[in-house]
Amino acid sequence: MGAGRATRVPQRRCIACGRRGPQEQFIRVKLDPSRSPARVVVDVDEARTGRGAYLCPRRVCLDQATRRRAFARAFRRPVAVEVEELLSKFETEVDEAT
């Protein structure tokens, strides 16, 4: 690359509040297809491939996404959301990021 060229930073959007920003400011969630209906889980190491969704690392966004069924829309299928399990992972992710 030539001198003076900036590297592109992937941009993502929160499925709850719609805020856009750099990918590292969001928490990625994926589906665990081993259960029926598929369960939403935090993609901690981003090792899973396929469709993912992004949320701000805030409880209000998790609650809003659950209430508005944003996970089912993002994954284009019925999903199970265990809020307490996700919340514990969110707190871990936020603590590690700071």
Residue pLDDT, tens place only, 3-59: 667 788 999 999 999 999 999 999 999 998 888 889 999 987 776 678 899 999 999
Measure the CA–CA gap between 21 and 71, rounded to whole angstroms: 19
Q: Do strands 79-80 and 38-42 pair parallel, antiparallel, or not at all (unpaired)?
A: parallel
For residue 6, is it left (φ>0), alpha (ψ between -120 and 50) or beta?
A: beta
11-97 carries CATH number 3.50.50.60:
no
Nearest to 15 by CA among 51, 56, 67: 56
pLDDT tens digits, 51-98: 899 999 999 999 999 999 999 999 999 999 999 988 887 776 665 555
